[in-house]
Structure 1
Amino acid sequence: MPMPMPTKPVAPVIRLAIADDHDLFRDGIVAILGHDPLVDVVAEASDGHDALRVAIAHRPDVLLLDVEMPGPGAATTVRRIRRQAPETRIVVLTMHRDAMLTESLRQAGAAAYLTKTMPSADLLRAVHAVAARTDQTAVGVDVGLVSPREYEVLRLIALARSNAEIASELSITEGTVKRHTSNLYAKLGATSRIDAVRRALLLGVLGHDA
């Protein structure tokens, strides 16, 4: 009797909500994400108050939140959602990066910061990366995606340090540096050092001043 073929585990569907006051932009995001069978858009909101209501009512895995919407303000909205729907990971969408605003939203509990000019493929990758985190603490190092040691290796990679230089600075072996680098590639979905740094910046894991 032939042995049954093992079945490949199916990744869980990401339940996602979108909060943006521009109908056309929301429709575009829904259309983009609709091509991914592992993403299900469960709700939409058009202001900060509605975003909180949607988060409480639908408990999405990820909420895409526009930084400039009518309502109490992005940082306040993020804090309220984190208090009342703590399982929801909040991804802030902005037109322009602002260091002070980014830090304010990080302190409030946002999991990532994405610009609206990013390619759609990067948006999909970011949604999957954020949803996969086991911890969404957003103060300081993003420990939900990379470990503190991986962050140090990533920071030195961003400074164009070689494996030997990283090993010397962190007092570890080059083999350990390579292992941390491989882990970073896997977590970030990267294929090279430059790609890893780009994706880390995109997800807010690594600051632009690193």
Structure 2
Amino acid sequence: MSGPIKLLIADDHPVVRDGLSGMFARDPDFEVLGEAADGAEALALAKELRPDVILMDLRMPGMDGLTAITELAKQGSAARVLVLTTYDTDTYVVPAIEAGATGYLLKDAPRDELLRAVRAAAAGESVLSPSVASRLVSRVRTPDAGPLTQREIEVLELVAAGNTNRETAVRLFISEATVKSHLLNLYLKLGVNDRAAAVAEGFKRGLLSGP
């Protein structure tokens, strides 16, 4: 991607918006195009400003973040949505990813982690906060969690071959949001936080063949 990563910040707390805007403004790799106080405003500004990444809170008055993510996906928005919230349970995480979010971070994430996550989201990579992943992994490490499904293995194979989420979706005739959902599930089952670790663990477990 040439030029700075263009951001839209959606959060109902002005102090949070100001803090995030100030943080990204200090880094020349980013440009904050605008701020939204709720989901409806985020939708309008996303259409007008065409950001690369939207930092989206989930719980906002009026239209919440989950509804906004769903609407962005329906509208075919090219913006990547990175959820930034205080809620870390699978009640919030899974619906957000399934709705089309590229990643999920908590608001207490360190600055460097947030910057890396935004860069990864802009590149179309799925991002899951380590703290979120560790909590969810502990919940799915039960006898009924089961092995990877055939579809999850197919997704992992395409990721290992270097395909992006969008390319994987095209090859499997599914939506990009569904690919993200499969990635989230296999991350949890493999006990990893990102694509590279998933591929490495896939080879380690014999799920993938090759060098």
The bucket for the TM-score relative to the shorter chain is 0.5 to 0.7
Identify the range of structure 1 (96-105 vs 106-115) with the bigger mean alpha-carbon deviation.
96-105
C-alpha separation in 2, matches of 1:151 and 1:77:
29
Q: Percent identity?
A: 34
**What does residue 72 of structure 2 align with?**
81
**What does residue 207 of structure 2 align with?**
170
1:125 aligns with 2:116: yes
What SS does structure 1 have at the residue aligned with 2:195?
coil
Change (3 A) 1:27 1:153: same
2:7 to 5, 12, 16: 16
**What does residue 52 of structure 1 align with?**
43
1:104 to 71, 95, 103: 95
Change (3 A) 1:107 1:13: same
Structure 1 ranges of 4+ moved more than 4 A: none
CA-to-aligned-CA distance 1:37-84 (integer Å, 9 cap, x gap):
010000110011101111111110000011111122222110111222
**What does residue 200 of structure 2 align with?**
153
Larger Rg, first or second structure (1 or 2): 1
Q: Confirm or deny: 8 A CA contact 2:38 2:65 kept in the other structure.
A: no
C-alpha separation in 2, matches of 1:135 and 1:152:
14
**What does residue 139 of structure 1 align with?**
181
**What does residue 28 of structure 1 align with?**
19
Q: Which amino acid aligns with 1:61?
A: D
Give the paired residue count.
Answer: 152
Give the RMSD, CA atoms, in angstroms.
2.5
1:43 aligns with 2:92: no
C-alpha separation in 1, matches of 2:20 and 2:88:
20
Gaps (5+ residues) in structure 1?
Answer: 1-9, 157-162, 177-210
Shift, 1:127, TM fit: 0.5
**What does residue 70 of structure 1 align with?**
61
Q: What's the TM-score, normalizing by structure 1?
A: 0.65
